[in-house]
Chain A
Amino acid sequence: MNALARLLAHPGIWRGRSLTRIDTLSSGFPELDARLAGGGWPKVGLVEILATHLGSGELRLLLPLLAAVSQQPQARWCTWIAPPLSPYAPALAARGVNLSRILVVRAPQGPQWAPEWATEQALISGACDVVLTWITQPLKPRIVRRLQLATQRGRTLAFLLRPWSSRVAREPSHALLRLGVEPQSHGNRSGMRLSILKSRGGATGEWWVDLEAAQAAAGV
């Protein structure tokens, strides 16, 4: 029994549902935390977020994490790669994000510009805590796998933000987690429908998130 416990404590071994060993960061959304393995976002790894529209709530979903990470005393960069629009500094600052840790990588479309390359550079540099990458074009599973491996090298949490098409949803995923986000208002409250499509070691599910309440709870 003792030997078995020791064996199970080995960092290379993970068990289906009780991934208690991984380091996690709270997502700031209790319902999401409850379903994720370890009770939050993994500290290292690749997470895919599929959104039906730009502005579905995917960024507000990540805000509590960005605020918490960027305010750590030894925070590394939070790098945004190929954001579709300009991130608005006053709004980020107002929700507790430390702007001095934010780095934005945006380049005009051209042969040199490949968000995947920039993402990999950011991941392996070891200089980033969080990397957010917006990719609209189809991604080969091989590349997703490669990025997932790169997160291990730099000890980084990476988010791939992709459009939620039926094609993408059918693709196998090499990410630790795959979430789907769809905008949905209930009455006068703006919110989103959040689905966990894949979760290594966690539960799947689908529920409505009141983003206004979340924002109010964050003290804004």
Chain B
Amino acid sequence: MAAAASLQLPLAVSPAGSPPPVGPPGDQPGQHQRVPALPQLWLGVHLPQPDRALLQRLAVLAQRFTPRVSLEPPDGLVLEVQGSLALFGGAAQLYRAFRAGCHAASAAPVLTLAPTPLAALAGARSGVAFKVLDQQHLVSAVSVLPLVALRWPPQLLQRLAKLGVYRVGQALRLPRAGFARRFGREPLQMLDQLVARSADLRAPFRVPERFRAKRQFVREREDHAQILQALQPLLKQLGEFLEARQCGITRLTCRLRHRNDLHTDCVIRLAQPEAAAARFLEWFAERLARISLPGPVRSLELRSGELLSRAPVHESLWQPGEHGGGGAAGSLPGSLEFIERLRMRLGELAVHGLICQDSHCPEGASRALSPADPDFRHVAFSSRAQVKTQAPARPLWLLDEPQLLREQQGWPQLDGPLQLRHGPERIESQWWEGHGVARDYYHATDVHGIAVWVFRERQPPHRWFLHGLSG
């Protein structure tokens, strides 16, 4: 009890100097399972405003205190700090260090200490100063907490409220068998975990892994070929790193450092996770050739984006054509490489697939599908043909913006009078929302004999527009 006595934190319910418990904990009344042998101390963190990004940052910060960190999204975090107490010089110092770290990250969460993770979280959620360092005071400390802090379903809380049960202490006093029968095993299990009667296993949080490597040059390098050569071993390391984890990356940054703290970033963004070093080298060669460097390069640094799982690429056992061997275009060697090469040179928006969309408005029915879109892989790799046969006749080319046509005595003109052949097809959509269309479409032929698709507005001023070409 010496540790608790020396602590200068306000303890919620801990009469100082109370005698240590006598006898095994199993002897205590109401104790049905053995208490875990090792004492634990959990630091609970609760964000008043849910913020997943901030929570992630705090979880990374928490790694400085203990490896046992687990997330309770969207607003909670618990870390087991018993093993680190000696390192920080006691619970009070550790608590203060963590609070300082949170302030540095411009966060002001509610912090609590308790022997079980659930108690730490529930205490933090209820917002009271909740610091319980040893297990014998745990039950009395949690008894005052409202049941709402356990985040049970609202129906369950309502039923308990009908019995006049609002606080954890009242729930703990209910007979176990009856409680399990009326409210289910799960709430009972939670109550047990809350007061350390049963173990509470939590998935540990892991910091997302990234690749980082650096290379310093003895002599400054200016030539692109030399820089690429220096990049090669780093990329080889990256390839091995990714291969070992069966992962790929879609983002890779190469920072070239010059004199006077100048640096140039060369970023590769890919549509699909990639892991082959040779391909990264090829893309960097493509990128570097287009960058003009402000000076000679002193060092290189390679940083990967997040690691993503990658479907392993393997050659089919059967050759294309036999026993259904070979796959769709997406699985052919080189098919995605070629897309990436075009994207590297022409920009990320330059290459896209096509997809139909359900829309009454003609402009909305066709959509460009970026290779970075998850749907793209799905569409490109599915063998199902996407063919629709029942549809009204549509032009093969659609103008990005309808082109206003001149009129002569009510007839639309395009180099000369248009001859309307089929129509009208009335297309209306969402005019009741104010931004829709109400048009009469016609298939027409111009003086040259070109088949076009034109429409006339149904609302005044009834203008004519060219919207498509039959191709």
Contact B353 A102 (CB under 8 A): yes
Chain A residues with Cβ under 8 A from B91's Cβ?
none
Chain B residues with Cβ under 8 A from A92's Cβ?
354, 396
Number of A residues with CB within 8 Å of any CB on chain B: 63
Chain B residues with Cβ under 8 A from A112's Cβ?
290, 345-347
From A9-17, A29-37, A183-191, give the one contacting chain B: A183-191
From A19-27, A80-88, A141-149, A194-202, give the one contacting chain B: A80-88
Give the distance in Å from the alpha carbon of A52 to the alpha carbon of B448 in the complex: 10
0/1 per residue, B379-393, Cβ < 8 Å to A?
110111111111101
Given A74-B321, A190-B445, A102-B354 contact (CB < 8 Å)? yes
0/1 per residue, B146-187, Cβ < 8 Å to A?
000000000000000000000000000000000000000000
Chain B residues with Cβ under 8 A from A97's Cβ?
387
Could you say which of B341, B388, B471 contacts A90, with CB atoms under 8 Å apart? B388
Q: Which of A77-112 contact B (CB under 8 A)?
A: 77, 83-94, 96-107, 112
Question: At the interface, yes or no: B213 with Cβ under 8 Å from chain A?
Answer: no
Could you say which of A74, A87, A94 contacts B326, with CB atoms under 8 Å apart? A74
Given A53-B450, A59-B396, A103-B351, A94-B391 contact (CB < 8 Å)? yes
Contact B334 A125 (CB under 8 A): yes
Give the distance in Å from the alpha carbon of A83 to the alpha carbon of B470 in the complex: 14
Contact A86 B400 (CB under 8 A): yes
Chain B residues with Cβ under 8 A from A55's Cβ?
397, 450-452, 469-471
Give the distance in Å from the alpha carbon of A84 to the alpha carbon of B400 in the complex: 11
Q: Nearest chain A CB to B174's CB is how many angstroms away?
A: 60
Inter-chain residue pair count (beta carbon < 8 A) = 191
0/1 per residue, B323-343, Cβ < 8 Å to A?
010111100101101110110
Contact A93 B391 (CB under 8 A): yes
Chain B residues with Cβ under 8 A from A125's Cβ?
334-335, 337-338, 341
Chain B's closest residue to A61 (CB) is B471
Chain B's closest residue to A101 (CB) is B329
Chain A's closest residue to B415 (CB) is A53
Question: At the interface, yes or no: A75 with Cβ under 8 Å from chain B?
Answer: yes
Q: Nearest chain A CB to B8's CB is how many angstroms away?
A: 67
Give the distance in Å from the alpha carbon of A182 to the alpha carbon of B388 in the complex: 30
Contact B394 A94 (CB under 8 A): yes
Contact B329 A127 (CB under 8 A): yes
Q: Nearest chain B CB to A206's CB is how many angstroms away?
A: 16
Contact A76 B397 (CB under 8 A): no
Give the interface SS of chain A, mostly helix, strand, loop or mixed.
mixed
Contact B335 A77 (CB under 8 A): yes
Could you say which of A52, A59, A93, A191 contacts B397, with CB atoms under 8 Å apart? A59
Question: At the interface, yes or no: A176 with Cβ under 8 Å from chain B?
Answer: no
* Tier of interface size on chain B: 35 or more
Question: At the interface, yes or no: B449 with Cβ under 8 Å from chain A?
Answer: yes
Given A89-B366, A92-B396, A107-B347, A122-B338 contact (CB < 8 Å)? yes
Most buried by B among A100, A113, A219: A100
Chain A residues with Cβ under 8 A from B445's Cβ?
185, 190
A-B contact pairs, 29 of them (CB 8 A): A57-B470, A70-B385, A74-B326, A84-B397, A85-B397, A86-B368, A86-B397, A87-B396, A88-B468, A91-B393, A91-B394, A93-B391, A94-B388, A94-B391, A97-B387, A99-B353, A99-B379, A103-B352, A104-B351, A106-B350, A107-B346, A112-B290, A112-B345, A121-B341, A121-B342, A185-B449, A211-B470, A219-B389, A220-B393
Chain A positions within 8 Å of B, measured between CB atoms, are: 52-60, 63, 70-71, 73-77, 83-94, 96-107, 112-113, 117-118, 121-122, 125-128, 182-185, 188, 190-192, 211, 215, 219-220
Interface contacts beyond A54-B397, A93-B388, A192-B449: sample of 17 additional A-B pairs, CB < 8 Å, sorted by A: A53-B450, A58-B471, A59-B396, A86-B366, A91-B393, A93-B356, A100-B328, A101-B328, A105-B346, A105-B351, A107-B349, A113-B346, A121-B342, A125-B334, A127-B332, A190-B445, A211-B451
